[in-house]
Each structure stands twice: as C-alpha cells, then as structure tokens.
Amino acid sequence: MKISPFFVGLFATTLWVALFRVVRRCIASRTGQADRRDETFEHHFSGTVSQLGATSFEDVPKSAQTIVVRVDSVLKKPSPVSLKRGDNVTVEVKDPSGFQEGTHANILHRWLDFGSGVAVKELAHEIRPNGGESAKAASADEKAYRQEQNDQELQDRLNSADFVVIGRVTEVHRWHAPKSATPHRVTEHDPDWHEAVLEIKSVLKGGKVKGNKMVVRFPGRNDVAWAQSPKFEKNQRGIFCLNRDRVSGVPTAKLGGNQVNAYTCLGHGAALPMAEEAHVRSLLKSQ
C-alpha cells in the first residue's frame, strides 16, 4: 500500500512536537518547576495575518496550518505572557483557507508554546473588517489594556516609595557632592545634582515630616540616563513619590542649619500633577 508523503510529513511533525514536549516536561520535573506552557489559557487578541504556512520562531515546525499574525491589540490580558501591539505570534489554525495575508481577525486561542517566541492554537476566530464597529471595539479594548498597564506601573511606584506626599517646591539650587561621597553607581552620565526644598501639605504615605519640609535631590541634566526623572521648579505643586537618597552617595542634606535625610524623586511617573490626587489616593487604599 502506497503511503501519501503528506501523511508521512504529518506523522513526523506530530512525533517531533510530542517528543519536544516530553523532553520539556522531564526538564521541568527535574528542576521541580511546573511547565506552565502546558496549562490551558484561553485569551483573545486582534491581529493582522502577515504570513501563511510560516512560523514566527524556530521552535515550532512550519505546516499548512501555521500562520504568522501581527498583534494589533490585546482584547483579554494574558496571565503568563504579556503580548503587546506589534508582536508576531504563530497561530495553528483550524482551517487555513479562511485566512489570507492582510486578513484582520479577532482570535480566541490557548497557549501552545512561549519559549523563544509565542505560539497559540486557534479555538475560534472572527474576521474583522478594516474600520467599523469591530475596529472601534478593538481600539477601546486596547486603550483599556494600556490604562491597566499604566495603573500597574503607578501602583508599583507607590508600593516602592518611602513617602508619597502632596507639596510645593519653595527653593531650588545646585548641589555639589563632597569628595567623600560614594555614589551608588559611577557613570559617565553626570546627573548634575540639584536640590529642591519641598513644603509638605499632606502625607499620603509615610510617617510624620519634621518641620513639614523635605530635601529632594534630582538630576538637572536631560541626558539619556536621567531624561525620565522629574526636574523641579520653584512654586511647582504636585504629588511626589520619594525614596531615601541611595544614589548620590550622601544620604543627608542641610536644611535650616540641621542635618536631615535626603530624598530622591527619580524615574517616569515619580512626580504627578494635582489632577491625579483622587486616582493616587484610590490606588494607595488598595495596597
């Protein structure tokens, strides 16, 4: 009986995938770690087909049922893997005849593999036209997902801050570190340290502030290493996420003739406008 080359190829591919998964499970069992890639996670994403009969990474064999889809938006946030717009995903589809290059589709899937790339198995799909209500829904979902990511970033910053305060900058001046300073890191990107005196109006997180004033060090340069860090100006008001100064090499500062703890306000989102007060308070309550 003559055996079709198609079935030979299909059998070989199936055997290869099965062997790969057995080896992966053995490695996981030896290390005492569960292989989370074998769990079933059902999620949605919206994307555009870029290649047919192809894969986005080498760990998955190509077949007539594999396509590469570029992620346009994530409709349901995945737990183990964080997909984002622009990612290329290998999708094992049920019927490849339903897809063409340039096809826009919402895809319900479960995870197959995410070692050096992401591969999923289609459970169902919906062809999405360019524009229209489906595109608007995808855009709204993407916006909601992006807001969720921003909230998580802010939540992490609030959690790690020693103090979260509402205040006003009353003074700004350049600060020169003494020769005895031992900075946390030595870099060719000179921060050009400045100090701001912050008059505290309210403490949202942290203990009582003696004299209701704090000294905050910040980089004066817009160098690539410090571009994300806030720059302070006199009379600036806002919400500030502060940490004890562990960067400049000198943990204290002079204020009114006294030595006090010095603080830093570094990184994107460390200083927020007053319009964010209600949002910040709600996130702090959830800690």
With b for 16 or more beta-carbon neighbours within 10 A and e for fewer, the 146-157 pattern comes to: eeeeeeeebeeb
pLDDT in tens, 6-33: 444 444 444 444 444 443 444 333 333 3
pLDDT in tens, 151-197: 888 999 999 999 999 999 999 999 988 887 776 555 556 889 999 99
Helices (H) and strands (E) in the chain, counts: 3, 12
Q: Which residues, including other chains, have CB under 8 Å from residue 12's CB and lie 6 or more apart?
A: none
Looking at per-residue confidence, does 212 or 41 come out higher?
212
Instruction: Count Cα neighbours of 167 within 13 Å in the Cβ-side half-sphere.
Output: 28
Place of tokens 């109006």: 201
Looking at per-residue confidence, does 146 or 98 come out higher?
98
